[in-house]
Amino acid sequence: MASLKEIKTRISSTKKTKQITKAMEMVSAAKLNKAQNRAESFQPYTDKIREVVTSIAAGTEGVSHPMLEDRPEIKKTGYIVITSDRGLCGAYNSGLLRETMRLINKRHSSPDEYGIVVIGRVGRDFFKKRNMPIYQEITGLPDQPEYTDIKSIAATTVEMFEDELFDEVYLHYNHFVSAISQVVTEAKLLPLTDLGEEVENTEDSGESSEPVGNLDYIYEPDAGTILEQLLPHYAESLIFGALLDGKASEFGARMSAMRSATDNADNMIDDLTLSYNRARQAAITQEINEIVGGAAAQS
């Protein structure tokens, strides 16, 4: 059984740990609020680009682009995996990486059939440890990243698709649902084959939304040139949007993990305090018995 001094030291140590986890929970909550607002504010921008691209692609006869067409043979698949640079965020990274590994193992029999573009130190270390083909990596992103922070890696990924190094590209990230819920998500980034779907009307105007292909735009010089410029930018915006979504999920997961750690520290302190009181009572009882026994021996 631990001595009174050892139990007291453990109580003190646990209280200090609780202070740290409580502070980290509060910091993550503040960062979550900012990240969630940024992710929500960026979505209309992506939707508008998609609306314009869809209108041009669907409304102009004879206009097409390689980024809009499925390739007859898939020789190599690219995966953009968005993880965090730090741990202490529960299953945020492990759940995502486990699902990525499952899909890669299911779809591919050789490393020659896929390549990985990884964002975040945790994912980078995970794939490197397993000698998996990493084509690009980026670490050390700020908590509130800017578009310029990932512009290079996003543009290069799009170029690899255009150069036919990859025949299709998937995004793997955690989609933010709530502060306590994140969903591991796979989204097909390239080719852009889902542009024909309707875009939700986010304005509360009472009017029903209509397919974006029915909208008319006046553009110049020509549809092909505009698609050539807009499509890579649209694909890059999808990557950045997924990163913002992933950041919100990361802070939500870290806040929940730190809250659980704080609650566990409270429970541990209660248990240790109870053990300390019992040990102290046992020591007092033993001292009383020794005093009574000594007095009896002298009488």
29 inside domain: no
Spatial CB neighbours of 216, under 8 Å, sequence gap ≥ 6? 55, 59
* CA 196 vs CA 54, 137, 199, 209: distances in Å: 7, 32, 9, 14
Q: What is the pTM of this model?
A: 0.83
* pLDDT higher than 70, residue 267: yes
Q: Which of 67, 243, 59, 77 is nearest to 150 (CA)?
A: 243
Mean pLDDT of 214-240: 79
Same domain for 224 and 281, yes or no, is no
- Write the pLDDT tens digit of every residue in 108-133: 999 999 999 999 999 999 999 999 99
- Among candidate residues 11, 89, 189, 261, the one labeled active-site is 89
Same domain for 244 and 140, yes or no, is yes
60 inside domain: yes
Contact 153, 138 (CB under 8 A): yes
Structural domain containing residue 283: 4-23+258-298
At residue 204, the pLDDT reads 42
Same domain for 184 and 265, yes or no, is no
What's 76's domain CATH number? Answer: 3.40.1380.10
For residue 171, what are its two tokens?
């995004």
Q: How far apart are CA 272 and CA 155, in angstroms?
A: 55
Same domain for 153 and 244, yes or no, is yes
What's 16's domain CATH number? Answer: 1.10.287.80
Judge whether 89 counts as a catalytic residue. yes
Between these two residues, 218 and 273, which has the higher pLDDT value?
A: 273
Same domain for 70 and 215, yes or no, is yes
Q: Which of 153, 156, 159 is nearest to 140 (CA)?
A: 153
Counting the structural domains of the chain, the total is 2
Same domain for 130 and 14, yes or no, is no
At residue 202, the pLDDT reads 32
* pLDDT higher than 70, residue 62: no
3-state secondary structure of 139: coil
Contact 92, 182 (CB under 8 A): yes
At residue 200, the pLDDT reads 38
pLDDT confidence tier of residue 52, bands split at 50, 70 and 90:
confident
282 inside domain: yes
* pLDDT higher than 50, residue 102: yes
- Asked whether the CA dihedral 238, 239, 244, 250 is positive or negative, the reply is positive
Same domain for 217 and 281, yes or no, is no
Same domain for 161 and 228, yes or no, is yes
Same domain for 88 and 120, yes or no, is yes
Q: How far apart are CA 273 and CA 195, in angstroms?
A: 61
